Amino acid sequence: MHTTPNTTENIITIMNNIKFYSKSVYDVADVKKANGGEKPSLLTITLMILIAILSILCVFLTPRSEEYLPFLDKTILTLLTIVTHIVYLIGGGIVLFGALLIIIRFIQSKMKNPDKPSGVTRYLSGYLTLSLELFIGAEIIKTTITRTFEEFSVLILIIISRGLFSLILYLERRWHGTAETE
């Protein structure tokens, strides 16, 4: 068999590439040595596989992106809207639960001793602070789906005002401490 220098160089290049890739595969498979004697975690392996699959999908789907991007945009918009509403409901549920719990504690404390301060407002401010944090989180999620500058500016004002309310409630809890009068 007569080979030209060009063909021989190509064969040598291919053989070197095979050696390089087989060494790379060996290094990945023998990650135990490189990782200080520990096996890679299941999460690490899962994430590596997920990244590889998503990379392959991106390569194949990029030329056809105009077919599915509008659908994907609508789906993400719908999911974020649903998540925002769920976070709002959880925040409202915390306010309702906290208010009911505080009313029960107030009644119990006044039934025991009507002249003694009940000290329940400090607990109510905790529930209100937690719910305000959830409302702020919902507003932050909502900023990702706003389309106009007016909506964005209103959301920023809402976030700032709720942040100030949260700060006021926090400071009120610190100032009142344990000595509270009602």
Tens digits of per-residue pLDDT, 16-42? 655 554 444 445 455 555 555 567 778
Clarify whether residues 75 and 86 are in a common domain.
yes
Answer whether residue 130 is part of any domain: yes
User: Is the pLDDT confidence value at 134 over 70?
Assistant: yes
Q: What pLDDT is stored for residue 176 in this prediction? A: 67
Clarify whether residues 80 and 151 are in a common domain.
yes
Clarify whether residues 112 and 152 are in a common domain.
yes
Q: What pLDDT is stored for residue 89 in this prediction? A: 96
Clarify whether residues 57 and 73 are in a common domain.
no
Clarify whether residues 101 and 73 are in a common domain.
yes
Total tally of structural domains belonging to the chain: 2
Answer whether residue 180 is part of any domain: no
Supply the DSSP symbol for 117.
Answer: -
Answer whether residue 181 is part of any domain: no
77/68: higher pLDDT: 77
User: Is the pLDDT confidence value at 77 over 80?
Assistant: yes
Clarify whether residues 23 and 111 are in a common domain.
no
Clarify whether residues 131 and 96 are in a common domain.
yes
Clarify whether residues 72 and 36 are in a common domain.
no
C-alpha distance from residue 132 to each of 92, 97, 136, 140 (Å): 9, 14, 6, 12
User: Is the pLDDT confidence value at 9 over 80?
Assistant: no
Q: Are 68 and 61 in contact (CB under 8 A)?
A: yes
Clarify whether residues 127 and 77 are in a common domain.
yes
> What ranges in the chain are assigned the alpha helix state H?
5-29, 31-34, 42-61, 65-112, 121-143, 149-176
The mean pLDDT of 99-112, rounded to a whole number, is 89
Q: pLDDT, tens digit, for every residue of 44-72?
A: 888 888 888 888 877 777 777 677 778 87
The set of residues, in sequence order, having a beta carbon less than 8 Å from that of 137 and lying 6+ positions away, is 87
Answer whether residue 182 is part of any domain: no
- Show the domain range for 130: 66-175
The mean pLDDT of 162-166, rounded to a whole number, is 82
173/17: higher pLDDT: 173
Clarify whether residues 46 and 74 are in a common domain.
no
